[in-house]
Chains A and B, each alone.
Chain A
Amino acid sequence: MFSVVNIRVGFYLALRQIRRASRWTTSLIVFVMLLTFLNLVVVTGLLVGIVAGISNQFRIQQTGDVMITALDTKDYIENSPQILSFLKTLPQPQVISARYRTSGTVEANYYSRVDLNEKPNETGASIVGIDPIVENNFSNLSKYVKEGHYLSETDYDTVLLGPQFVDRYSFGEQPGLTPLKNIYSGTKIRLTINGNTREVIVKGILDVPANSPLAARIFMPISEVRQLMGKTDYAVNEIAVLLKPGTDGVAFRDLLNRSGIGEKAKVQTFEEGIPNGVAEVQDTFAMIGNAIGSIGLVVAAITIFIVIFINAITRRKFIGILKGIGISGEAIEISYVFQSLFYAAIGSALGMGILYGFLVPYVSANPISLPISEAIIVAPLDGTMIRVGLIILTTIIAGYLPSRMIVRKNTLDSILGRN
């Protein structure tokens, strides 16, 4: 079938048929192919991007590119001050945030509680001690303050609350976390860590999506948390490292492990450090996206099939003449394959232009704000090329089959228009 002559004649015919076809028809078919491409790539990319948005939140707001945490057998990172000093000597980190992380309880509305038999308005909490300036450089935490103000270094007895602690903003109850009532900026609450209780003022309330790692946390200046924890040393629980752009997280992790830090603490890249299940959710969303995209692919294949079939059947007489004067059926079929290829290639090329020239950069700069994350479009070039290949293959088959059906009809019947 694919002899050089057949391909040359097929190309010769296809080129002229495309060139002299109705521009409206050609534009419409190319538009269908463009929509198919966008359906296949953007829908999947957006679904994956929702989860990528969640993952990205963890990187930006919690783990950074590399996270150092305590070994499973320890509550704190051994030799934390030495590790921090070592990290500061390295050129790769952009910001290093050392944190204390502990659990405790928080109680509100205790002044208005008149009956001691009444259940107190309290809940369990994850409390994080931070250096407000460093943490703001790291996660831009102040940006998320919806009510009140951000912490300052000199603050005393003040906290920032994640939205999950405030019933007005919470996303519903979670195990061990009941939203508190009547909480505003300036409200006093009681914080208890390791049996040490302190009354603190809510300085600010954060506004982040439900899946943000900031949603269910209380932030306090690091020195106060250390006091409440009753710690006398400077051993922190976690050190998050945001690397300079272009730095390889895996290489940096390996560097830290080679330097001996790996023996004192757990060193993980962002991907290794994100909570279990996020990667699986990402894969699941990608599969759903592919399923939706596949339906689009079938629709496009049927469209091309119908277009080529109608084109071929209305040209049946001319196909008969071509065969009659000695043009091989294979060359005629190839001409239709080339036409299908043209529609698919132009549609995909336009789609790629729109995707990488506009959609991906625009949505990256302006993520789509959804209740569960700030979604972006994830469209790696290799995956996109596979989808383009799939569109082209499907289109070629959809173009070949109807042309084959018509070409196989009796030559003279085709010429004379007999059934």
Chain B
Amino acid sequence: MIEVKNLVKSFKDGPNVTTVLKGINFSAKQGEFVAIMGRSGAGKSTLLYQMSLLDEPTSGEIRINGREAYLMSEHEKMLFRLSEFGYVFQDYALLPELTAIENVALPLIMQGLSSDAAEEKAKVALERVGVGARLNNLPSQLSGGEQQRVSVSRAIAHRPSVLFADEPTANLDRESSDRVMNIFRELHKAGQTIIMVTHEDEYARIADRIVTLDDGKIVNTTKF
């Protein structure tokens, strides 16, 4: 499904060049749950951003469902992110002036659904993650855990091929983290492909496989 070959990502800061990813080779199959771990600065999030087409690698290949990422135009990447990917960010990344249901409905409207149809679908997705009672609340009126569940709901409402999650429990308390991870577990059981960056061993063990990065390289792969 996703295949990465010799992926290199460098950042330039004046004359200084910092290479964060140093020739990564990685793949994830349909329905697989992969956890990416590593120390801070190891390149976990950077790898996630390259695979999820939010950033351009310096060199290397990314192939998604058989398509070469570097051959895609910006517009094609946008369409790919809209229809094939779902994102869960560490800080929830909800739009503050949209209610929970509107946040979830927006990408669905972008896919061509009517507002009513999109909000109906969004409602189902929100009920699925247990925030069906907070549909019309703004993000500022929700707890961190509720916001993250809305974020998960937005990521899965359109049934993406791959769900990317960047430290989804980093800002949550224990109880909220468990609830979010239970949702991930259920999604995975239902066949959802998930690629998740995390610091937490306990949650990483939910995955089929843990890929450990250090200094821009994959240093270990553990399968369960």
User: Is residue B110 within 8 Å, beta carbon to beta carbon, of the partner chain?
Assistant: yes
**Contact B54–A318 (Cβ < 8 Å):** no
Q: Are A5 and B81 in contact (CB under 8 A)?
A: no
Complex Cα spacing A325 to B81, Å = 6
Q: Contact check: which of B93, B95, B97, B106 meets A9 at CB < 8 Å?
A: B106
CA distance A321 to B147 in the complex (A): 15
Residue pair B106, A321 in contact (C-beta under 8 Å):
no
Q: How far is the CB of A41 from chain B (nearest CB, A)?
A: 33
Q: Does B87 contact A (CB under 8 A)?
A: yes
Q: How far is the CA of A411 from the CA of B112 in the complex (A)?
A: 22
Please give the distance in Å from B219's CB to the nearest CB on chain A.
25
B54–A324 CB distance below 8 A: yes
* Whole-angstrom distance between the Cβ of A313 and the nearest chain B Cβ: 15
Given contacts A21-B97, A412-B54, contact A321 B107 (CB under 8 A): no
Q: Does A217 touch B at the CB level, under 8 Å?
A: no
Query: Across the interface, which residues of A come within 8 angstroms of B96, CB to CB?
Result: 318
For A328, the chain B residues whose CB sits under 8 A away are 75, 78, 110
Q: Which residue of A lies closest to B52 (CB)?
A: A324
Task: Indicate if A415 sits at the interface (CB-CB under 8 A).
Answer: yes
- Say whether, besides A16-B98, A21-B97, A321-B89, A326 and B115 are in contact (CB < 8 Å): no
Contacts of B138 in A (CB 8 A): 20
Map CB proximity to B onto A135-161 as digits: 1 under 8 Å, 0 otherwise: 000000000000000000000000000
Q: How far is the CB of A272 from chain B (nearest CB, A)?
A: 60
Say yes or no: is B55 at the interface (Cβ < 8 Å to chain A).
yes
Contact of A326 among B79, B89, B95, B98 (CB under 8 A): B79
Contact B95 A321 (CB under 8 A): yes
User: Which of the four size classes fits the interface of chain B?
Assistant: 20 to 34
Contacts of A397 on B, CB cut-off 8 Å?
none
Q: Count A interface residues, CB 8 Å.
A: 25
Q: Verify A415–B93 contact, CB threshold 8 A.
A: yes
Q: In whole Å, how far is B61's beta carbon from the nearest beta carbon of chain A?
A: 19
Cβ-based interface call for A331 (8 A): yes
Contacts of A322 in B (CB 8 A): 95, 106
- Cβ of B124 under 8 Å from chain A: no
B49 lies within 8 A of A326 (CB): no
Interface status of B180 (Cβ within 8 A of chain A) = no
Q: Are A9 and B98 touching (Cβ within 8 A)?
A: no
B167 at the A interface (CB under 8 A): no
B146 within 8 A of A: no
A325 to B109, CA, bound (A): 12
CB of A16 within 8 A of CB of B82, answer no
**Which residues of B lie under 8 Å from residue A16 when comparing CB positions?**
97-98, 102
Q: Does A13 contact B (CB under 8 A)?
A: yes
| Residues of B contacting A411 in the complex (Cβ-Cβ under 8 angstroms) | 54-55
> Is A101 in contact with chain B by the CB < 8 A criterion?
no
Would you call B93 and A326 a contact (CB within 8 A)? Answer: no
Write the B70-99 contact mask toward A (1 if CB under 8 angstroms, else 0): 000001001111110101010001011110
* Cβ contacts under 8 Å, A369 to chain B: none
B144 CB → nearest A CB, Å: 17
The docked-state distance in angstroms from the alpha carbon of A318 to that of B95 is 6
**Which residues of A have CB within 8 Å of B149?**
none
Which residue on chain B has the smallest CB distance to residue A20? Answer: B97
Across the interface, name the chain A residue whose C-beta is closest to B118.
Answer: A12
Give residues 95-141 of B contacting A (CB, 8 Å): 95-98, 102, 106-107, 109-110, 112, 115, 138
In the bound complex, how far is the Cα of B81 from the Cα of A288, in angstroms?
54
* Complex CA–CA separation, A8 to B109 (angstroms): 8
Pair B78/A326 contact, Cβ less than 8 Å: yes
Q: Does A327 lie at the interface of the complex (its beta carbon under 8 Å from any beta carbon of B)?
A: yes
For the complex, what is the distance from the CA of A317 to the CA of B96, rounded to whole Å? 11
User: In chain A, what residue has the closest Cβ to B112?
Assistant: A5
Shortest Cβ distance from residue B179 to the other chain A in the assembled complex, whole angstroms: 22
- A sample of 19 cross-chain residue pairs with beta-carbon separation below 8 angstroms, ordered by A number, consists of A5-B110, A8-B109, A12-B109, A19-B97, A20-B97, A20-B138, A318-B93, A322-B106, A324-B54, A325-B82, A325-B154, A326-B78, A326-B85, A326-B107, A326-B110, A327-B106, A328-B75, A328-B110, A329-B78
Identify the 10 closest CB pairs spanning chains A and B, nearest first: A326-B82, A20-B97, A326-B81, A321-B93, A412-B55, A412-B54, A9-B110, A17-B97, A325-B107, A327-B110
Q: A21-B97, A324-B87 are in contact. List 7 more A-B contacts (CB 8 A).
A: A9-B109, A12-B115, A321-B89, A321-B95, A324-B93, A411-B54, A415-B89
**A interface vs B, CB < 8 Å?**
5, 8-9, 12-13, 16-17, 19-21, 317-318, 321-329, 331, 411-412, 415
